Each structure stands twice: as structure tokens, then as C-alpha cells.
Amino acid sequence: MTFIGIIPARYASTRFPAKPLAMLGGKTVIERVYRQVVGQLDDAVVATDDQRIYDTVIGFGGKAVMTGVHHKSGTDRVEEAYELIGRDYDVIVNVQGDEPFIQPQQLRALQECFDVAETQIATLVKPFTPQDGLAALQNPNSPKVVVDDRKRALYFSRSVIPYLRGVEPSEWLSTHTFYKHIGLYAYRPEVLREITSLPQSPLEMAESLEQLRWLQAGFHIQVGISQVETIGIDTPEDLQRAEEFLAKQKI
């Protein structure tokens, strides 16, 4: 099977404008993301609506395509980029442009989801541990996932799911394995075309999670399990934490 990684990157982030061009350990964030992906998949391309980001990617020897400014989600931008690229791949991997520490084993776990012939969409989860603490589990900015016996997602929520009846919250993490969603997706091309043509669904609007639109429409999402913690960059404070992490890793 052939896999292409498409990295959506926009300049006008509300919480952190120009985030892809922020410097992290002497390189831009977008370069670090790109270099974590290129070589792990059959191809890698940055999809952006900003000339500055495009020029930066081309400048460090990467591949980039210019997309429209109208997209409401990274998924929509990825779909347009794939059509613009004009080459056929078996699977498209959507790698967030603010994940500079994505690991090869995470990409492999996502690829392995497509060993199941029926897989339409795939994503990753990481088990919460007791060391994470209850506050991390209850954080609404960290979506939770429940899966079935075939490792398909049943539901995603900003709430703690499942609710453990009769168990004190302080004991939840030592009683049950909860899964944290890692926002990395892969899709078969025909499925990506279908899901980007869907209107927003009531569940999506309720939780502000676009993957609920796909579940509500009847698509299956295969789940790979990763033990690796990612460090996404949403704010300048996150960038500082990433700098500290980078210094410890000596990457």
C-alpha cells in the first residue's frame, strides 16, 4: 500500500498567529513536523493557504501546495491538497502541522490499521495512566474515546467516558483503561471525499469534534493504540514547553 502524509498548516491561528513559522530549536515548527514525516511514508506535502509558509517549506527542500483560504478544518484542506497533487495513493495521512514530535512508531501504528481491509478511516489513542491524574482525564480539551472489541471507535467525547457507576472518581484511573484521542487521522481517498462533503452533524456541533460527523454518518474509524505522548503546540506557552522537551531529548 502507498501512503502520503499531508500536513495542513495555516498562518491565521487565533491563539497563536504564525505558529508554523515559530522557531523551535533553530528550525521552524513546520520544518520539524515535515522532517518527522518525510521518509516514514511514501511522500509528504504541506498544505497551506499562506505564501510565507509555502516559501518556507520550499526553502528547506520540502514539498508544499497552496490551497484555498475558505476551509473550516484541516481535513477539508487535506482533501483539496490531495486533489491538487494529482497522484493516486492508497491512504492519505493527515498529520497536524503543530505536532513536531510525532514519532515513527505512531505513523506505523496508523498504517497498520489498514491491514484490516475494511478500514475506512484510522486514528490513534493513548491509554491514560494513573500517573496522568484525574485532572488530565477530566480535561475537556483532551477528548476521550471508547472502542469496541475490533478496535473501532464507538464514540469520542470531551466528557469522561465511560462513566464508572459506583466507583469514586479518585479510583477511576486505577479501575479502568481510558483512552485519550491523538488527533492523527488516515483515510482512503474515496472516503475522504465523502466525509468532506457531509454537512455538520448535531453530535459534532454539540462536542465540537468533527470525527463525530463521520461516526454519525455511519463511517467506521479504526483505532491504533500508541504509548507515545505527543506535545502539540497551540499557544506560545506550549512552544516554551516544547523547547524544554527538545533540550532534554537533544533532538
User: Is the per-residue pLDDT at 38 higher than 70?
Assistant: yes
* pLDDT tier at 250, thresholds 50, 70, 90: low
User: pTM to 2 decimals?
Assistant: 0.93
Per-residue confidence (pLDDT) for residue 187, from 0 to 100: 98
**Where does the chain hold its CATH 3.90.550.10 domain(s)?**
1-99, 103-229
Per-residue confidence (pLDDT) for residue 15, from 0 to 100: 76
The hierarchical CATH code for the domain 1-99 is 3.90.550.10
Of 14, 67, 88, the C-alpha closest to 196 is 67
The CATH superfamily assigned to 103-229 is Spore Coat Polysaccharide Biosynthesis Protein SpsA; Chain A (3.90.550.10)
User: Is the per-residue pLDDT at 58 higher than 70?
Assistant: yes
Per-residue confidence (pLDDT) for residue 222, from 0 to 100: 98
Distance CA 159, CA 139 (A): 8
pLDDT mean over 202-210: 96
pLDDT mean over 70-91: 94
